[in-house]
Amino acid sequence: MEPESYPVLNAVGYAPIASQQGSSDSVKTIMAMKASKLDAYRELAEQVYGQRIEGQQSLSAMVVKDESLKASVEGVIRGARVIKTYPVGEDTYATELELDMQRVYDLYLTTAKPRRVKDVKYY
């Protein structure tokens, strides 16, 4: 059954330019643009699928000896579109993405090809 309304999700990804690998400033800027886009997709995946959190803690003589926390996200994002890619300050690039869930639903219908029963015969 189709919902009455569809949300539009927005995400922003950031990447530092100076930390990128490249032979020139132009290459580093392009790599930061790509990295910021991937970061924005990760943000969208978190909104759609949630985030998995794993924690671990060990004690020795009732004193915390070691503590770790790990976060991960996994999923497929289809139908997102880039709204804007732009520099932020001197050393950061940002990318804004939008995911219209109406478009996601339409893409699902074209790939899943749901079938409807036309006729039922009883014998």
Residue 118 forms part of a structural domain: no
Tens digit of each residue's pLDDT (9 = 90 or more) over 22-60: 999 999 999 999 999 999 999 999 999 999 999 999 998
Percent of the chain at pLDDT > 70 equals 99
Give domain status of residue 2, yes or no: no
| Mean pLDDT estimate for the chain | 91
Which residues span the domain enclosing 69? 8-112
For residue 14, being part of any structural domain is answered with: yes
- Overall number of domains in the chain: 1
Question: CB–CB of 83/108 below 8 Å?
Answer: no
Contact 21, 31 (CB under 8 A): yes
The answer to whether residue 25 is domain-embedded is yes
Domain membership flag for residue 100: yes
Residue 104 lies in a domain: yes
The pLDDT assigned to 63 comes to 85
pLDDT at 117: 75
Whole-number pLDDT of residue 17: 96
Give Cβ neighbours of residue 44 (< 8 Å, ≥ 6 apart): 9, 11, 77, 80, 97, 99
Beta bridge mates, 47: none
Within a domain: 54 = yes
In a domain, 120, yes or no: no
What contacts 16, CB < 8 A, 6 or more positions away?
Answer: 32, 91, 92
**pLDDT for residue 85 is more than 90:** yes
